Amino acid sequence: MKTLNVFAGIALIALLASFAPFGGEGFTMHVNDKLLVENYFTSKSTTPRVSLGALTEKDQISIAYNECGKIGTNRSLTLKNEAGKVLKEWKFADSPTVAAPMSIQANDILKFKKENHKILTLTYSSKVVPDRLLVNLSPDNETQASSK
């Protein structure tokens, strides 16, 4: 009977753990402190798409990247065009705190909207993570936000 209870307890824990992302990599993207994207990288995850039409030049974009429960070192965000050419790169100081979002001004991205790019990408890099695609930025007004 005791073995059956232990087995049932293990099965229940495994079942509950399967519904929530546990560990692993993920990020959140806030615009003016409002959550726009929350994504965890799994085999089934897709790259979120964010519309540049949803941003204004005064908006503040914050990205908090989670490297398996840790904050990366030598962190950077890179904006690239559809051909993979680097348009802008932001570098961030190492932070000892877990709540260390990387903040950028929307106008730094919006100025490239005028160049008629079909799609822009925003990638994250650190000492451990070489080049992780975070979001596709489209010039239209269609946003595919939060995915888990």
Average pLDDT over residues 119-135: 93
Q: What are the chain's domains? A: 23-138 (2.60.40)
132 in Cβ contact with 24 (< 8 Å): no
Q: Examine the pLDDT at 66 and tell me if it is beyond 60.
A: yes
Sign of the Cα torsion 88, 61, 98, 27 reads negative
More confident residue, 130 or 114: 130
Maximum Cα–Cα distance across the chain? 70
**Structure confidence by residue, pLDDT tens digits, 16-65:** 444 444 557 899 999 999 999 999 988 788 899 999 888 899 999 999 99
More confident residue, 145 or 127: 127
Please tell me the least confidently modeled range out of 5-14, 59-68, 84-93: 5-14
Q: Examine the pLDDT at 72 and tell me if it is beyond 90.
A: no
Q: For position 18, what pLDDT does the model report? A: 45
What is the rounded average pLDDT for all residues in the chain? 81
3-state SS class at 87: strand
Q: For position 125, what pLDDT does the model report? A: 95
